[in-house]
Amino acid sequence: MHRQKYRLIIPFLAPALILYGTFVLYPYIQAMYIAFTSWKGLRKAPRFVGLDNFQKLLSDDHFWNALYHNAIYVITLPILTLGLALFLAFMITQKVRFSSFYRVTFFFPQVMSVVAIGILWSFVYHPSIGILNSFLKLIGIGNPPVWLGDPHTALGAIAAVTVWQAAGFYMVIFMAGMQSIPSSYYEAAALDGAKRGDIFFKITLPLLWETTRSALVFIVINAMNMFGITFTMTIGEAGPDLSTDVLSTLLYREAFTHSRFGYSTAIAMAYFIIVMFLSFVLMRLTRRQTIEF
Amino acid sequence: MVNQESRLNSLITQLILGIWAIAVIFPMLWMIFSSFKTDQELFFSPWAAPKELQWDNFARAWTNAHVGDFFFNTLLVVIPALLLTLIISAMAAYVLARFEFLGNRAVFYLFLAGMLFPVFLALVPLFSLVNNLGLLNTFVGLILVYVAYSLPFTIFFLTGFFKTLPSELEEAAIIDGANEYQVFFRVMLPLAAPGLISMGIFNFLGMWNQYILPLVLVTKEEKYVLSQGLYFMLAKQFYQNDWSALFAALTIIMVPTLIVYIIFQKQIQSGLTTGALKG
């Protein structure tokens, strides 16, 4: 039937392969070399320096500072976001009124551009026009923090926005998982007089394990990124005293503000290795027998 | 007793869900209200409704702050990029899903590999490559890069989709004398419409909100797309102090997104969530 199939296969694959090879694969392969060079600006040529960039990295305070902030996000964001998302999903699937209004509303921040969200929230946090502090003053807190302007609160303020944005998204993912749990399980539990908390921890959560695993890996990858929201909410300055700097904003600055192309790519390489390592470890740690139903 | 308890339960549920709904909606409502206020009102009466609707804020945002230009630039990039992504991916996915040939698996995994790497690793070489091709600060450059980075996931998704389609129609068309190209464009592509729509929505939102790529590849203000244009507006506010226009700009960006979302919310939710978890 497909005697002359190569006359179709080649022209059908060629555009995808050419574009992908040129703009995706080729840069990634080049990056593996650039990370080992000193390259300062487009007009100069990269010079091979071996492991120098990585040695510099290990003694660079800015690198450790950024990585520390990523680590805080990696630990806090999954707990807060997935915890809230699971809770909301469980609530909303209890045959409540207005459930589709809630679902549509909670998901909306995920659709908005991260820049729009970043700007909106930097207004909310703004010390003089912001709605948050005028609310805090209204309820009697005379001296509210300046949030994004204070190194002690800036990182938390950004984390809160991320939770606000992503909770509804993960809620919808969990809801899809919950709907595939047979209702006979719940009916049997209800007959036995189980409480809502018991039903959640003994039926819903174990049967949602596969969904939770994927969500966990996905959110950890995002916690390692955080570029858009950080860059927008701190106007590219990475917060007061670099208090919100993360690896992605650091490597962007190194490349496009300071023209340290080689060093920036070395940071990106470290970033890539850390993400791969974390995903691998998470998948391993959370592996358990899946329950068939 | 049981009835009372369940009523209390549902009251608590509504309370919790209601609080989160307010937390999501309130900042956006406040933004829309603020976009109709004067700067004076913004600073001194944050909770009051605007005394008069300041439509002029929107005019300033659209023309003086170039939100209108950024808007059209974004359309000029996203529409061609989206169409190209869908057609190129569909062709590749069709071949990978339904033809056996030497290297089929290898090509499929080659595309898959692209999903493994973070875009940050490619930024410097990509910037230098696009510069060498003379495509820095051009829409063509941005379109080609958007398409290239959308291919891996779109091909992965559509390959799965094409595999599920029945082969009877394909065979019937060949018996009727259709050639391979006609089979694809007249039979298989229409059958793949639901998959193409999912990927269309997924990629549209990704491209419309794309941030890091234009930030690196477009440095001239007249070529800015919306996301980076908004960001530079914000950065400029620190010395220009036209806050009300910035609120208006945000509203201009957000309200169309909101309307499109409310109309297509089912498709958008399923498109984005399958996108995330299979990716």
- In CATH terms, A61-285 corresponds, of 3.40.50.300, 3.40.50.1220, 1.10.10.10, 1.10.3720.10, to 1.10.3720.10
Residues B99 and B51 in one domain: no
**What ipTM does the predicted assembly reach?**
0.91
Q: Are residues B145 and B184 in the same domain?
A: yes
Q: Are residues B23 and B75 both part of a single domain?
A: no
Say what the pLDDT of residue B106 is: 96
Q: Is A200's Cβ below 8 Å from some Cβ in B?
A: no
Boundaries of domain holding B28: 1-64+242-270
CB < 8 Å from B in window 255-274 of A: 255-256, 261, 264-265, 268-269, 271-272
Q: What pLDDT, on a 0 to 100 scale, did the predictor assign at position A243?
A: 93
Closest CA to B149 of A268, A221, A248, A24: A24
- Measured between beta carbons, the chain A residues lying within 8 angstroms of B135 are none
Based on the number of CB atoms within 10 Å of its own CB, is B115 exposed (0-12), middle (13-18) or buried (19 or more)? exposed
d(CA A267, CA A265): 5
| Per-residue confidence band for A292, with pLDDT thresholds at 50, 70 and 90 | low
Is B40 in the same domain as B75?
no
- A95-104 pLDDT, tens digit each: 788 889 999 9
Angle at B136 between CA B132 and CA B138, to 5 degrees: 130
Chain A touched by B38 (CB under 8 Å):
no
Shared domain for B80 and B190, answered yes or no, is yes
Q: Do B46 and B158 belong to one domain?
A: no
- Whether residues B111 and A16 touch (CB distance < 8 A) is answered with yes
Task: Establish if B145 belongs to a structural domain.
Answer: yes
The residue among A195 and B275 whose pLDDT is bigger is A195
Residue (of A164, A170, A175) closest to A91 by Cα position? A175
Q: Which of chain B's residues have a Cβ under 8 Å away from the Cβ of A251?
A: 120, 123
Q: Which pLDDT score is estimated for B279?
A: 41
Predicted pLDDT at A4: 67
Residues B170 and B44 in one domain: no
| Residue B276 is assigned to a structural domain of this protein | no
pLDDT tens column, A79-130: 999 999 999 999 898 878 888 999 999 999 999 999 999 999 998 998 888 8
In-domain check, residue B231: no
Whether the CB-CB separation of B195 and B157 falls below 8 Å is answered with yes
A181-205: average pLDDT: 86
Q: Is residue B278 part of a domain?
A: no
Q: B59 and B178 share a domain?
A: no
End-to-end CA distance of chain A: 41
Q: Are B99 and B135 found together in one domain?
A: yes
Residues of A in contact with B174 (CB under 8 A): 1
Provide mean pLDDT across the span A28-47: 93
Establish if B230 belongs to a structural domain.
no
Q: What is residue A290's predicted lDDT score, i.e. its pLDDT?
A: 61
Q: Is residue B8 part of a domain?
A: yes
Q: Per the CB < 8 Å rule, is A24 touching B25?
A: no
The answer to whether position B232 is within a domain reads no
Q: Please name the member of B34, B230, B273 whose beta carbon is closest to the beta carbon of A115.
A: B230
The verdict on B134 and B167 lying in the same domain is yes
Instruction: Tell me the chain B residues in contact with residue A4 when contact means C-beta distances shorter than 8 Å.
Output: 180
Q: Are B83 and B165 contained in the same domain?
A: yes
Number of domains in chain B: 2
pLDDT given at position A3: 53
Closest CA to A212 of A110, A287, A292, A106: A287
CA distance A214 to chain B (A): 6
What residue segments make up the domains of chain A, in order of their start?
61-285
Residues of chain B with pLDDT under 50: 1, 279
Helix H or strand E encompassing A235: none
Is residue B23, in this structure, part of any structural domain at all?
yes
